[in-house]
Structure 1
Amino acid sequence: MDTGTAGTGKLLVVIPAFNEEAAIAEVIASVVRAVPHADVLVVDDGSRDATSEVARRAGARVATLPFNLGVGGAMRTGFLHAARGGYAAVVQVDGDGQHDPSYIPHLVAALADHDVAVGTRFSPQCTYTVNGPRRWAMAGVAGVISALLGTRIDDATSGFRAAGPRAIPVFAQHYPAEYLGDTLETLVIAHKSHLTVTQVPVAMRQRTTGRPSHGGVRSGVEFVRALCVVALGLVRRWPVAADVAP
C-alpha cells in the first residue's frame, strides 16, 4: 500500500475499483473537488487493467489486492486502513462514476447523530430510476431492513454510504465479503452491534456501462437471496460497538 498522511484529514474516502481505468481518474478528481481535506484510498480489487497506475497518477493512495474479492473484501481493506490510521469517518464511493461526490458532506454531516448514513437514490432530487420487478424487489428488501432497524431506509442496497468512529472498528473486523454483504448484511451488523443508521437523500448518475436490470424471475430470485442474507446475518453473533470519545 502506498504511504501517505494517513489520518491527518480524519475523513477517508474509499473507492473500491475493478477494471475502472477509464473512469477512476475523474472519480478521484470529483472527490477531491467535493472534499479537498479528505484522504482518498483506491482499493484495486484485482483489476486486470491499469486501474492502479491511473489512480496513483490521479493522486490517490492505492491498495492493490492480488485477486478479485468483491466490493465487500475491498471495503474491509479500506476500513482496516481507516482503523489503523485513526480516521473519524469513512465514505464509500464507487469507482464507476455513478455516485456523485458532491453529496459526501451531507453523508458525513449525518454522522453527527448516527453511526452509519446510507445515501438513498429514491428521493425528489434524484433522477435515478428503477422500474418493474427489480424496483419491487428493492422496495421489498428495503421494507424488511426498515422494520429491522426501526427507521426508514428506502435504498438498502445503496453502496454510497458513510461510517463513523463507532462503526469503523466493527467493519474493519467484520465487513462481509459475501453476496450482498457489503450492503444488506452490513446494515444487519449495524443493528446487532447497536449502531444507529439513517438515510440521506442523494443524487446518483445512471450507469453508462453494463446491464443492471433484471427480469421478473431474476428479480424474484434476487429478493429471496436477499432475505436469506438478512436472516443469516441475524442469527450470527456480532460484537457490540464500543463507545468512542469525541
Structure 2
Amino acid sequence: MKTLIIIPAYNEEGSIGSVIADIRRHVPEADIIVINDGSSDRTEEVAMASGARVLTMPYNVGIGGGMQTGYMYAKMLDYDVAVQMDADGQHPAKELPKLIGQTARYDLVIGSRYVKSTSYRSSRMRRIGMIFFSKLVTLLTRQRFTDTTSGFRAAGRKVIGLYASYYPIDYPEVESLVYLKRHGCTITEVSTEMQRRQAGRSSITPARSVYYMIKVTFSVLMSAMRYNRTAVIK
C-alpha cells in the first residue's frame, strides 16, 4: 500500500530528526511529510536534512490546520494510507506496522494506550481528561473507545477524503472521531506503546487542559446535534 506518514511539527528541532530516522528504520517504504507549523526554530532545516518532505505553513495554524493540510496532500497524491504521528518522539515507529496492517479492514485505526496495559503513564489531570472524552465519545457513537485523544492514527482512503474536506481546528482528535462515525466509517483501536517526549515541552498546561475539556466537549456535543438533526430531516 502506498503509505504517507504525516508529522505535524511546531518547534521540534530537538526530536524531529530522530523521529524521521526511526520511521526509516521500521517502515522504509513509507513516504514522510513534515507539516512545519510556522516554527521559529530549525524544525524545517532538520527535517529536510533528515530526508523528509516539508510543507511550511506561513504562520502557526494549529494541529487541525496542519493535519488537514497533510490529508489534502495525501489525497492529491493518491495515497492508500495516511498515518498521523507526533514529532516529539512519543510514538515509536516500531508500532507503525500494527496500525498500517489494520487499514485493510478498517477506515481508521487508532494506536491506544489503554486497550491493554502498557508502560505509558500520564499525569492525573490528563488521565481524567482521557477517561472523560473516551466515555463521552463512546456514549455519542455507541462504540467503545479507550483513547480518543491519541494522535497516533492510520487512515484509509475514505478517511483521507473526509479529513481533506474537513478537519476540526483546535484540539481535533476527539471531535474528528464523532465526525467519522457520522459518515459511517469503521474505526478500531490497537494496543500500542508510547513514551515520553524526547525534547521540548508540551503546550498543554493545566490551565489549557481545562480550556481543552470545556471547548472540545461543546464542539463534540454540537457535532452530534448537527448529525441528529440531519438524520431527522432525511
TM-score, length-scaled by structure 2: 0.89
Question: What is the correspondence of 1:143-182 to structure 2 with a 5 Å cutoff?
Answer: 143-177=135-169, 179-181=170-172
Partner Cα separation in structure 1 for residue 107 and residue 148 of structure 2 = 16
Find runs of 4+ consecutive structure 1 residues off by over 6 angstroms: none
Give 1:99's match in structure 2, choosing from 91, 103, 106.
Answer: 91
Spell out the pairing of 1:106-117 with structure 2 (5 A cutoff): 106-117=98-109
The separation in 2 between residues aligned to 1:211 and 1:47, in whole angstroms, is: 15
- Contact kept, 8 Å, 2:74 with 2:160, in 1: the verdict is yes
The alignment status of 1:137 with 2:121, answered yes or no, reads no
Aligned to 2:45: 53
Deviation (angstroms), 1:214: 6.0
| Mapped contact 1:125–1:202 kept (Cα < 8 A) | no
Q: Which position in structure 1 is the counterpart of 2:14? A: 22
Root-mean-square deviation over aligned CA pairs: 2.1
Q: How far apart are residue 157 of structure 1 and its match?
A: 0.5
Distance 2:189 2:40 in 1: 35
- Counterpart among 61, 67, 83 of residue 75 in structure 1: 67
* Matched ranges for 1:206-245 at <5 A: 206-208=196-198, 209-210=200-201, 222-236=212-226
- Deviation of the 1:124 alpha carbon: 4.1
Cα separation, 1, equivalents of 2:113 and 2:6: 20
**Contact 1:180 1:226 survives alignment (8 Å):** yes
Q: Quick check: 1:133–1:220 contact (8 Å CA) kept in 2?
A: no
C-alpha displacement of 1:47 = 0.6
The aligned length equals 227
2 CA distance for matches of 1:87 and 1:176? Answer: 21
Richer in helix (by share)? 2
- Calculate percent identity across the aligned residue pairs: 38
Specify the alignment match of 1:185 in structure 2: 175
Q: Distance in 2 between matches of 1:134 and 1:29?
A: 29
Residues 118-152 of structure 1: per-residue CA shift (max 9 Å, x gap): 11122545211124343123212101112333322
Show structure 2 runs of 5+ residues with no match. Answer: 228-234
**Structure 1: gaps (5+ residues):** 1-8, 238-246
Q: Report if aligned partners of 2:38, 2:56 keep a CA contact under 8 Å in 1.
A: yes
1:105 deviation in Å? Answer: 0.9
**Greater shift in the superposed pair: 119-128 or 46-55:** 119-128
Per-residue deviation, 1:232: 2.1
Give, in angstroms, the shift of residue 235 of structure 1: 3.3
Contact 2:106 2:188 in 1 (8 A): yes
